C-alpha cells in the first residue's frame, strides 16, 4: 500500500494512520509524525521541503493549503 503523502510503498496496513489534513486519508506513520511536527513547530522552523510536501499533499487530497498556511502564520510566537 502506498502512502498518499510521501508516495512510498509500505507493506501491510498497520503502519497507517489518518492524516490531520482531512481526517480520512491514510498515510504512513512517518508522515503522520511529520504532519504533527509541522503543526506544532513555528512556521519559521518548517523546512522548505516540508512546506512543498504539505502543499502538494493538500492539493492531492483537495484540502486548502492556504487555510493551513494562514493558520500557521497567524499562530507565530510573539518572539518571532
pLDDT tens by residue, 25-41: 989 989 999 999 999 99
Q: pLDDT (tens digit, 9 = 90+) per residue, 27-80? A: 998 999 999 999 999 888 999 999 999 999 999 999 999 989 988 888 655 544
What are the extents of the domains in the chain? 16-74
Cα–Cα distance measured from residue 70 to residue 29, given in angstroms and rounded to the nearest whole number: 26
Q: How far from 78 is each of 4, 51, 57, CA to CA, in Å?
A: 34, 21, 29
Amino acid at each position: 500500500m502506498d502512502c498518499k503523502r510521501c508516495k512510498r510503498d509500505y507493506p501491510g496496513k498497520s503502519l497507517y494512520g489518518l492524516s490531520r489534513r482531512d481526517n480520512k486519508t491514510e498515510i504512513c506513520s512517518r508522515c503522520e509524525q511529520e504532519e504533527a511536527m509541522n503543526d506544532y513547530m513555528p512556521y519559521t522552523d518548517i523546512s522548505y521541503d516540508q512546506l512543498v510536501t504539505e502543499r502538494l499533499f493538500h492539493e492531492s487530497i483537495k484540502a486548502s493549503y492556504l487555510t493551513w498556511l494562514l493558520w500557521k502564520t497567524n499562530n507565530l510566537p510573539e518572539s518571532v
